[in-house]
Homo-oligomer: A and B are copies of this chain.
Amino acid sequence: MKFNNEKLKIDGIDKKILRFLMADARKPVLEIARSIGISGAAIHQRLRKLEASGLLAGSKFVINAKVMGYTTMAYVGIYLDKAMSNPVAVKQLEKVPEVLECHYTTGDWSILVKVLCRDNEHLMQVLNNEIQQIEGVSRTETFISLAQQIDRQITI
């Protein structure tokens, strides 16, 4: 991806718009307009500009996974055999729906993944039957998140 991010200037009004929409992507533009005392058309123009700049990477509905019975979140550090290339392992991890994030990290492990499971038993199955079955995975270290106490985006 290439963006024209060299001239990207975000002024106070842009920031206000972004803060509103980061908290609620469905907030009507006209409502935001009234809140910050500017016309709806102006907000619209600014949003087009921000979108063109690549700063706006879309919007998401947030699902409360707990209500769906997914209560166990964990981070898993994965050690790969020297022979195993990272992209090949990632391709396998993509096929595991419980894997929500995957990072290529410095430090002890080759890969750090975040997984979301229904319960500890489900987590065990994902570890044993999915992740550790991937070729090249030699060992894993699991850290269960007993509570997620902060969850937010970058502060604008």
Residues of A within 8 A of B (CB): 3, 5, 8, 10, 18, 21-26, 53-65, 67-70, 73, 75, 90, 93-94, 97, 99-109, 112-113, 116, 141-156
Contact residues in B for A104 (Cβ distance below 8 Å): 145-149
Contact residues in B for A63 (Cβ distance below 8 Å): 18, 22, 55-57, 153-154, 156
> Shortest beta-carbon distance, A120 to chain B, in Å?
11
Contact residues in B for A22 (Cβ distance below 8 Å): 60-61, 63
Please name the residue on chain B nearest to A61 by beta carbon: B21
User: Knowing A62-B57, A67-B8, A150-B93 touch, does A145 contact B75 (C-beta < 8 A)?
Assistant: no
Contact residues in B for A102 (Cβ distance below 8 Å): 148-150
- Cross-chain contact of A94 among B25, B54, B93, B150 (Cβ < 8 A): B150
Q: A24 to B55, Cβ gap below 8 A?
A: no
User: Knowing A26-B26, A59-B26, A61-B21 touch, does A107 contact B150 (C-beta < 8 A)?
Assistant: no
> Shortest beta-carbon distance, A54 to chain B, in Å?
5
Contact residues in B for A65 (Cβ distance below 8 Å): 154
> Shortest beta-carbon distance, A100 to chain B, in Å?
6
Contact residues in B for A106 (Cβ distance below 8 Å): 143-144, 146
